[in-house]
Amino acid sequence: MAHPVDARTLGYVVVGGVVGVLARAALLAPIADPAAVPWVTLAINAVGSLLLGVVVGWLDDRRPHARAFLGTGVLGGFTTYSAFAVETALWVTTPALAGLLAAASVIAGVAGAIVGLFAGRRIADRPGRIEAPEDAE
C-alpha cells in the first residue's frame, strides 16, 4: 500500500528541485560547443551521484525533510537521466562514442554514489553501513 504524500515534504522536494535544475542550467548555459554538452552532463551526473550518496549516507533515516530537499529535490533536479539518455541516443551515428558515454555515465554514477555513501557514513560516524534499497525513502 502506498504511503500518503506529506504536503510539507512534497514542498521541500519541489523547492529543492527548482534549485537543482537552476544549478544544472547555470553550468550548461555558458557552453558554446554542442559536442561538449554530453560530457558536461556526464560530469554533472557523476558529481550529483556522489553528493546524493553523501546526503543518504549522512542523513540516513534522520531529518527526512532535509533529505527530501537535498536528495530528492536538489540533487534529483541537478542530475538528469533523461538528458543522458537523449544525448547518448543522438550519437547513434557514432555507436562507439555513444557506448563510451553510456558506460562512463553509469560507471561514474555508481562509483560516485558508493564513494558518497561511505563518505556520508563517515560524516555521520556510521562507517561501513549502507542502507538496503527497500529501506530508502
Q: How far apart are CA 59 and CA 129, in angstroms?
A: 12
Strands (DSSP E) along 1-134, which ranges? none
Q: How far apart are CA 125 and CA 36, in angstroms?
A: 39
Provide the 3-class DSSP secondary structure of residue 3: coil
Phi, psi dihedral angles at 2 (to 5 degrees): -70, 145
The annotation status of 79 as a binding-site residue, yes or no, is yes
DSSP conformation class of 62: S
Q: Which whole-number Å values give the CA distances from 116 to 55, 101, 109, 111, in the listed order? A: 8, 22, 10, 8
Q: How far apart are CA 132 and CA 89, in angstroms?
A: 32
Q: Binding site for Na(+): what residues are annotated?
A: 76, 79
Q: Binding site: what residues are annotated?
A: 76, 79
